[in-house]
Amino acid sequence: MSTFALSGATLIDGRGGSPLTERTVVVENGVITRIVPTSQYDASSGPEVLDVSGKWLLPGYINGNIHLLDGVMMMGVGGVEYLARYEGSFVKVIEEGAQLSLRNGVTTVFDTWDARDPVLEARDRINSGASQGSRIFAAGNIVGMGGPFSPDFNFNARQSISPTFANRIDALFSAGVGAELTLFQEKEVRARFRDYVQSGVDMVKVAISDHLTAHLDPVSMRTYHTFPEKWVRWMAEDTHAEGLPFLSHTLAVPALEIATDVEVDVMIHPTWTFNQVIPDELVRRIADRRIGVGIQPMTDDYSVKLLAHGNFWGALNSPEHQKNERNFIDAGANVMVATDAGCTSHDVLQDLGHDLWEDRPTTLGEDHFTWVKALQGRGLNAMGAIQALTHNVAEAYGKLDRIGTVEVGKVADLVLLNSDPLADTENLRDIAAIYKEGVAVDRSALPTQQIVTAPTGTPIPE
Amino acid sequence: MSTFALSGATLIDGRGGSPLTERTVVVENGVITRIVPTSQYDASSGPEVLDVSGKWLLPGYINGNIHLLDGVMMMGVGGVEYLARYEGSFVKVIEEGAQLSLRNGVTTVFDTWDARDPVLEARDRINSGASQGSRIFAAGNIVGMGGPFSPDFNFNARQSISPTFANRIDALFSAGVGAELTLFQEKEVRARFRDYVQSGVDMVKVAISDHLTAHLDPVSMRTYHTFPEKWVRWMAEDTHAEGLPFLSHTLAVPALEIATDVEVDVMIHPTWTFNQVIPDELVRRIADRRIGVGIQPMTDDYSVKLLAHGNFWGALNSPEHQKNERNFIDAGANVMVATDAGCTSHDVLQDLGHDLWEDRPTTLGEDHFTWVKALQGRGLNAMGAIQALTHNVAEAYGKLDRIGTVEVGKVADLVLLNSDPLADTENLRDIAAIYKEGVAVDRSALPTQQIVTAPTGTPIPE
Amino acid sequence: MSTFALSGATLIDGRGGSPLTERTVVVENGVITRIVPTSQYDASSGPEVLDVSGKWLLPGYINGNIHLLDGVMMMGVGGVEYLARYEGSFVKVIEEGAQLSLRNGVTTVFDTWDARDPVLEARDRINSGASQGSRIFAAGNIVGMGGPFSPDFNFNARQSISPTFANRIDALFSAGVGAELTLFQEKEVRARFRDYVQSGVDMVKVAISDHLTAHLDPVSMRTYHTFPEKWVRWMAEDTHAEGLPFLSHTLAVPALEIATDVEVDVMIHPTWTFNQVIPDELVRRIADRRIGVGIQPMTDDYSVKLLAHGNFWGALNSPEHQKNERNFIDAGANVMVATDAGCTSHDVLQDLGHDLWEDRPTTLGEDHFTWVKALQGRGLNAMGAIQALTHNVAEAYGKLDRIGTVEVGKVADLVLLNSDPLADTENLRDIAAIYKEGVAVDRSALPTQQIVTAPTGTPIPE
Amino acid sequence: MSTFALSGATLIDGRGGSPLTERTVVVENGVITRIVPTSQYDASSGPEVLDVSGKWLLPGYINGNIHLLDGVMMMGVGGVEYLARYEGSFVKVIEEGAQLSLRNGVTTVFDTWDARDPVLEARDRINSGASQGSRIFAAGNIVGMGGPFSPDFNFNARQSISPTFANRIDALFSAGVGAELTLFQEKEVRARFRDYVQSGVDMVKVAISDHLTAHLDPVSMRTYHTFPEKWVRWMAEDTHAEGLPFLSHTLAVPALEIATDVEVDVMIHPTWTFNQVIPDELVRRIADRRIGVGIQPMTDDYSVKLLAHGNFWGALNSPEHQKNERNFIDAGANVMVATDAGCTSHDVLQDLGHDLWEDRPTTLGEDHFTWVKALQGRGLNAMGAIQALTHNVAEAYGKLDRIGTVEVGKVADLVLLNSDPLADTENLRDIAAIYKEGVAVDRSALPTQQIVTAPTGTPIPE
């Protein structure tokens, strides 16, 4: 049943204007067809009316940066077992992740690094209705990087694991556009890149600056440029020519300059600059061009806890990083939710201990709420947070014609809240109902299968 | 059907005497009840007669030292994935291993290090007929050592894996008698030890000298004593009091002295002594006491290939090690097959490459044949090899009343060969039939499920 | 001038009795020849009288466990450069260390691990008057351990340094009685041991339990026995037969049991037991036999600071370790100063930062004062502390006939204080004068050459 | 005495033409003032005549790429001790290196990576006559790289050494233009770069592609661009504006493209391209522009020996690398001697063993001869080799107005050989005399002080 009317709610439509009280939203075949003051709505002529008076209606939430197979975890301990254990079940794990997100109001996710073929298969299965979960848009590999056992992500694992295994997994992720591209002539690289752009991915993410130095000793801080600037330029052009969004991975100010120059659509973690404050002029340009700014914040409390546990991730919350966050918000940039969350191994969560569960930024399902909490500490107001969680992601990725707001003609991805999110953004959690393409989500049934979320050692269901 | 007569074969009964031609062996309810010259046998009065003229009949083969979950592999790359992947399926993997052995004539194995509860469960399942495979006798942990992720076996893995996972697996192996015993007072250690002896294990193996230093740089060669000698002495006594065999793990001559003094039943790899030649007097004592000498040889060709691949295991075939092997053989010691083999990960075999498959000493199913080949290069003759593969193991472990020879009253574990093993020990592979407790083994049906032997990534069968 | 009379001081003679006020102590040719109440002393008949009324006179301080080439430092960063830089100058560095000690009242040190030949040369140079410094008694190597680049002390260095260099330095320390002894037959080991005992060392220290596991991951806590107990027994006997003290290195309760059984004279760090509380009965036996108990405490403040810096040494101040310290004190054991101090590299001190300088237990010259401060926190009273710093060390090492107290017939090693150490042990620092063998020490001239204490990069003086 | 005439030798003047027999070369005040057929020379009117009939006269040899403090060694074991031991003596060690070179005919060296201030001080001391040695031109740091303890050179050392020490040494090398530049804004980087260009260095070398990935596992082959291309472009411009040569460090074909585009003067190891064959078109451009091509070859024999010792440097002699070498030679590129040699630690040479001494490419003094031998195996003829060792280096570095050939007006840097180098390039070793700026070199007196070449542990002379 994807035809009905929701009547009486206060509508926060994602466009940033004042809430509209007492609205009736009509959904037909999964699309929003009318929005009128309830007092003007003639229920007799339309579909079944659900009375949602006293509630708040928002666009379905969108997460602009996740890795359903948990990518952040792969950079620490636990990734080896995870990849070994679920090797034959990656599609299922990705679906489990998409279901954890959907259960918490996220109707669309942008997966910006993952094993390409499994994530595309899961995407297709969800889109076709064969499985449930958030709608997935997927980038596959980060062009120029290796797989999870390459030094881009892990310096230790290959000391302990079979090369045959490591190479097979790495190839599944790097998918023909890995770090080896840095060695080849321009012509060959461009041919491989085009093949990749046309391989079914929904967007393309390029490592403008490198990743692996983040693993090296902090005394040797540095970052390199993966490709010559002119290569990055035609990568952007070739991606845009195919009608796809172009995403940047950067870790430094000079790389952000290049990303801005080549007109990326979305910047992933632009605020991570090895503790350099991004110049105001550059912040201004990024804001003016409406580039999606995928900030990855953490709460100050969480940062302190991490550092007390000797966990270097806590250092990401440096004063300079915070300043970068504030500056983007203050400049009115197109700030969007981008959490890096994924389906974390049960064992790794046990490792962390209860103390580090609350406010953990990358626990799928909780991640977007934690993001909002953290960025409010940097000056983002409630309406800004709601837009970052809906409209802004859709805008950055060029999907605003279909999702991101509650407007006539849009897909009926909706979240209905019991309490007012503008009064307190914690109310974004207070979900009464979720609709994806006009279909009510049975939250209690998700995930349909427990795999990663089951205690480790539980047999993987068929 | 476990009642029948095998008629006409040449009998090599495992006791070392001349082969007996044209014998008829009668099996009733799984036990050997008569052995007579075929010419004297009146078939009409007995069970069904199977004519096996022209063949050779031997006791079922016995392997005195294996680790069905592949323990040697855990000391290099590949163990992490293996343990992660099969964590919920250890019993099945152990059964698969026991089936690979049985398919190649091995009716009994002594598993001297393994995850205790899974190996005991597999043992019970096979004994009860719920599953197939070689008969298993199991030691569980090596008392005084940690699990596969402790430095006894692996210095690197814990850098890459979840502590929760590592601790859980380690505890499954160490089973209350791990390295932490070295820190406690004698009284407490003895109480824990007794609990372990009474926990259902079939034998007890103690680390008289340590293991972990084998992983350290070879410039720092050394070995330590895990426990005070007097502790080892009561460990032996308490084990014997329970009617169980006592096994030693040693890596040096001084530890062999202690093992001999405390009257161990079986010595595992006594020839590995960090390249010290064992004194003749000590070899003599070990031989005279009929202690089981579990040599672990490799062919010279294989050693050369390993070293060419930069694999340090090749160094185990040092001149001093070879001399130790020869000296035990020449002294008439109770030399027995002890291969360290296990169910090796498919990926790890791919890593090795074809070049290193032939003569690999630890490939389950092939291991006992490779052992015979390698030790013949040290002076063991064909009859000695056959006894090392049958009678000697049973004698060392105190099982000669039931297995190890073809004699009236013994369990009908039998291997029937198409060609004469005394003419060429390679004929030990030329198996016509295998009987375990009088039941013919359907070799083609083994293993009943492919898990480890299937290509990695194949879903684990229910 | 080593003949004179000190007149008028309050004498705390090291024997534990009440202070004796207004005493005159006569020194002739470096030996104490008379002690009388000043009122009974006829100055006209004797040597020159120095009026030290209002001061306190104590025996020269003694440190029962140091490593003049800084051994503790070699277990962390900095040892590589130190050993490289000073390779040709070890004797000078050792002398510098002995001078730092002497400047702070320590007239005798027992160096229980050091490069043997250099430390013996420095000892002889000081004894002969060719150089200055605390009187040195030296053990050379810890029998059974390797050198500073062996895994006994350092797991990383050999990855970065020349094997030729590493082997040369290691051999200088291990001096023929290194870890390789663990591999040999008893007869050969005993011959090598006897050679060592007769090589000019002043005492012999044996690794009853091993050292290297202290470097391994704390999840794998364990300790091994270097040698069979019966070997340790004849090591003690052979050492005693030569008239030398026998010292134990242990890290666990079972090893302490053996040390007690074989009648060691001195136990180095017996309280370090991997957080096991030493049984009362064993504490009792150690106390009753008057074995020297070389506790190595740290102040609670310092422990907290170390842990806050992520420095694992802080964990040595565990509750169990503290309890062991208290139990020895409460049992009236022969507790003695044993600090592990050495001449620390200037760079390493800079690494630590000011915050970790105060109360650092191993800074030579400060170390014995810090020791007293730390152990007073465990219940040691002022008189006990003074005895631990004088009498007790001499007693444990069998030197009480010559040093350790202020008595007629003893060598005139004396410390004269400006204020009362029984009122406040901090007054032990308030040194008015030091006499070694009756010769006043020119404290301001020590060290005679700055090598290690000079900023790194300063040329080494000829 | 720097005024004389050499009479009767066959002149190979470095310009590539046919040898000129029976020439007289007149040197006045260190400059070549006349070159005439001996038959036309009137000795009575000129300076003292030395009869060198039957000998061969060549320009002084020039090495286009060395690191007098041995930089290659710092990438393996031994660098830690070397830097610690000689920290206060770097100028002396550099002078020792320059003397080893000069003793073997090398009158000029280009030091392309070294501790800046020490190498400039040694340069000035040699130029002023305060010390002896090859004339030094020095680059100091490679812009964009860290010091010897950064991951550009060493991944392990910082685990074992004091941070204070490591940081001090690293800063001495990186000299304000280290890897941290990669994090800053363009404006700041340019200011720092200009300061460096004006700091007294003789040339500027920039890391166009990075170095550190060469240390990572070979399965993850890659290389990155240190700086955006436009930055490299102004680095070249600013360097040329200061009248200095601009050198590139590259490890890949794309970086070579950029180096060519920005008009570098000298390419260091352009043939190392992670086994990619450099496209013919690019080789052609490099040859046409007369860029100095600093090939670093090894003999095939040596490569085989290295690989047999498990030394990964052997892999640098890959077929693709050899092909790159051949292609540059065949294209007539300005191939020049560039050996990476330095003053290797005595210990490290012992580590290598005799087997690896012959043909070792980086043993200072032997290095240029080995270079010639290795490249003749790639098709370089004798005259080409002589030019690579003289004229070509001078041309590439823009010094041909003063050195590199024997021509009137040039500095009198001369090598006199006993036998014909065109007959056999091994005769380049057969040195009869060396003149630097017209002064005969007393080869037997070099080095004037043995420091690095003395056995390790020898005291450093004042």
Transcribe B325-344 into DSSP letters: HHHHHHTT-EEEE---EEE-
User: Do D252 and A150 lie within an 8 Å CB cutoff?
Assistant: no
- Residue A106 identity: V
User: Do A351 and B162 lie within an 8 Å CB cutoff?
Assistant: yes
Question: With 70 as the cut, is the pLDDT of residue C1 above it?
Answer: no
Residues near D17 by beta carbon (within 8 Å), at least 6 away in sequence:
none
Question: Would you tell me how many other CB atoms lie within 10 Å of the CB of residue D204?
Answer: 27
pLDDT of residue B456: 82
Q: Which residue of A has its CA nearest to B458?
A: A88
Residue D132 CA to its chain's centroid (Å): 18
For position C43, which CATH number holds?
2.30.40.10
- Which tokens go with D314? 């052997």
Query: Does a structural domain hold residue C336?
Result: yes
pLDDT of residue C357: 93
Q: Which residue of C has its CA nearest to D155?
A: C160
pLDDT of residue D111: 98
pLDDT of residue C219: 64
Query: Does a structural domain hold residue A307?
Result: yes
Which chain D residues touch C77 with a CB distance below 8 Å?
Answer: 159-163
The strand pair at A439-440 and B4-11 is best described as unpaired
- Which tokens go with B2? 């476990």
Shared domain check, B421 and B304: no
For chain B, what percentages of helix, strand and coil (3-state, to nearest 5) are there?
A: 40, 20, 40
Q: Is A85 on the interface with B (CB under 8 A)?
A: yes
Which chain A residues touch B154 with a CB distance below 8 Å?
Answer: 160
Cis preceding-peptide flag for B447 (omega within 30 of 0): yes
Q: Which residue of A has its CA nearest to D211?
A: A224
What total number of domains does chain A contain?
2
pLDDT of residue A218: 59
Q: Is A225 on the interface with D (CB under 8 A)?
A: yes
Bridge partners, residue C433, by sequence: C416
Query: Does a structural domain hold residue B456?
Result: no
Residue reference for tokens 């201030």: D117
Residue B460: pLDDT band by 50, 70, 90 thresholds? confident
Question: Would you tell me how many other CB atoms lie within 10 Å of the CB of residue B113?
Answer: 29
Shared domain check, C361 and C217: yes
Shared domain check, B79 and B31: no
User: Do B224 and C222 lie within an 8 Å CB cutoff?
Assistant: no
Give the predicted TM-score (pTM) of the model.
0.95
Residue B308: pLDDT band by 50, 70, 90 thresholds? confident
- Which tokens go with C17? 């009795």
Q: Is B218 on the interface with C (CB under 8 A)?
A: no
Shared domain check, B299 and B419: no
d(CA A435, CA A416): 8
Model confidence pLDDT, tens digit, residues A257-312: 999 999 999 999 999 999 999 999 999 999 999 999 999 999 999 999 998 888 87
Shared domain check, C319 and C194: yes
- Return the DSSP state at C261: H
Q: Is B21 on the interface with A (CB under 8 A)?
A: no
Q: Which residue of D has its CA nearest to A250?
A: D183
pLDDT of residue D308: 85
Query: Does a structural domain hold residue C461?
Result: no
Query: Which chains form contacts with chain C, at 3 or more CB pairs under 8 Å?
Result: B, D
Tally C–D CB contacts below 8 A: 108
Closest partner residue to B222 among C167, C183, C185, by Cβ? C183
Phi then psi for B88, rounded to 5 degrees? -85, 0
- Residue C247 identity: L
Q: Which residue of D has its CA nearest to A221?
A: D180
Question: Would you tell me how many other CB atoms lie within 10 Å of the CB of residue B200?
Answer: 14
d(CA D78, CA B187): 50
Enclosing domain of residue A365: 61-396
Closest partner residue to B347 among A85, A162, A351, by Cβ? A162
- Mean pLDDT, residues C93-112: 98
d(CA B183, CA B192): 13
Residue A216 burial by Cβ neighbours in a 10 Å radius (0-12, 13-18, 19+) = middle
User: Do C225 and B230 lie within an 8 Å CB cutoff?
Assistant: no
Shared domain check, A263 and A196: yes
- Residue B36 identity: V
Question: With 90 as the cut, is the pLDDT of residue B315 above it?
Answer: no
d(CA D386, CA B21): 85
For position D232, which CATH number holds?
3.20.20.140
Q: Helices B229-241 and C229-241: crossing angle, nearest 10°?
A: 150
Model confidence pLDDT, tens digit, residues B412-431: 999 999 999 999 999 999 99
Question: With 90 as the cut, is the pLDDT of residue C315 above it?
Answer: no
Cβ proximity of A60 and A413 under 8 Å: yes
Cβ proximity of A294 and A66 under 8 Å: no
pLDDT of residue C220: 67
d(CA C397, CA C391): 10
- Which tokens go with B86? 């099969």
Residue D309: pLDDT band by 50, 70, 90 thresholds? confident
User: Do A77 and B162 lie within an 8 Å CB cutoff?
Assistant: yes
> Rg of chain D over CA atoms, in angstroms?
21
- Return the DSSP state at D273: S
Q: Is D163 on the interface with A (CB under 8 A)?
A: yes
pLDDT of residue B249: 97
Cβ proximity of C293 and C333 under 8 Å: yes
Question: With 70 as the cut, is the pLDDT of residue B32 above it?
Answer: yes
Question: Would you tell me how many other CB atoms lie within 10 Å of the CB of residue A194?
Answer: 16
d(CA C360, CA C303): 10
**From A44-53, D324-333, D428-437, the region with the lowest mean pLDDT:** A44-53
> Please, what is the average pLDDT of chain C?
95
Cβ proximity of A55 and A432 under 8 Å: yes
Shared domain check, D157 and D11: no
- Mean pLDDT, residues A194-220: 85
User: Do A163 and B351 lie within an 8 Å CB cutoff?
Assistant: yes
- Which tokens go with D63? 């090495």
d(CA B85, CA B457): 9
Shared domain check, D94 and D49: no
Shared domain check, B257 and B125: yes
pLDDT of residue D461: 78
At D68 the three-state DSSP class reads strand
Question: Would you tell me how many other CB atoms lie within 10 Å of the CB of residue A233?
Answer: 15
Cβ proximity of C99 and C135 under 8 Å: no
d(CA C286, CA D9): 89
Q: Which residue out of D220, D229, D235, D324 would a mutagenesis test of the A interface target, given it has the greatest number of A Cβ atoms within 10 Å?
A: D220
d(CA D109, CA A134): 65
Query: Does a structural domain hold residue C382?
Result: yes
Question: With 90 as the cut, is the pLDDT of residue B138 above it?
Answer: yes
Question: With 80 as the cut, is the pLDDT of residue C93 above it?
Answer: yes
Shared domain check, D413 and D358: no
- Mean pLDDT, residues A407-416: 98
Query: Does a structural domain hold residue B459?
Result: no
ipTM of the modeled complex:
0.95
Question: With 90 as the cut, is the pLDDT of residue D238 above it?
Answer: yes
Tally A–D CB contacts below 8 A: 112
d(CA C271, CA C277): 8
Closest partner residue to C279 among B185, B228, B231, by Cβ? B185
Q: Is A217 on the interface with D (CB under 8 A)?
A: yes
Residue B229 CA to its chain's centroid (Å): 26
Question: With 90 as the cut, is the pLDDT of residue D221 above it?
Answer: no
Residues near D421 by beta carbon (within 8 Å), at least 6 away in sequence:
D12, D56, D58, D382, D386, D427, D428
Q: Is D142 on the interface with A (CB under 8 A)?
A: no
Query: Does a structural domain hold residue B136?
Result: yes
Which chain C residues touch B179 with a CB distance below 8 Å?
Answer: 220-222
Question: Would you tell me how many other CB atoms lie within 10 Å of the CB of residue B17?
Answer: 10
Query: What single string gives the DSSP state of each residue in D114-151?
Result: S-HHHHHHHHHHHHTTSS-SSEEEE--SEET---TTST
Q: Nearest-CA distance from D218 to chain A in Å?
A: 10
Which chain C residues touch B163 with a CB distance below 8 Å?
Answer: 219
pLDDT of residue B2: 86
Closest partner residue to C84 among D84, D351, D459, by Cβ? D84
Side-chain-facing half-sphere of B263: CA atoms under 13 Å: 9
- Which tokens go with B449? 């499920």
Query: Does a structural domain hold residue D21?
Result: yes
Q: Provide the greatest CA pair distance for chain D.
A: 71
Residues in C 331-350 with any Cβ partner in D closer than 8 A? 345, 347-348, 350
- Residue A327 identity: N
**From D123-137, D218-232, D375-389, the region with the lowest mean pLDDT:** D218-232
Model confidence pLDDT, tens digit, residues D73-91: 999 899 999 999 999 999 9
Which chain B residues touch A78 with a CB distance below 8 Å?
Answer: 161-162, 165
Which chain D residues touch A157 with a CB distance below 8 Å?
Answer: none
Cis preceding-peptide flag for C447 (omega within 30 of 0): yes
Q: Which residue of B has its CA nearest to C152?
A: B220
Cβ proximity of D149 and D159 under 8 Å: no
Shared domain check, C113 and C42: no
DSSP E strand boundaries for A88-229: 106-111, 135-138, 142-143, 204-207
Question: With 80 as the cut, is the pLDDT of residue D420 above it?
Answer: yes
Q: Which residue of D has its CA nearest to C347?
A: D164
Q: Nearest-CA distance from C166 to chain D in Å?
A: 10
Shared domain check, B420 and B351: no
Residue C390: pLDDT band by 50, 70, 90 thresholds? very high
Which chain D residues touch A167 with a CB distance below 8 Å?
Answer: 219
Q: Nearest-CA distance from D409 to chain C in Å?
A: 44
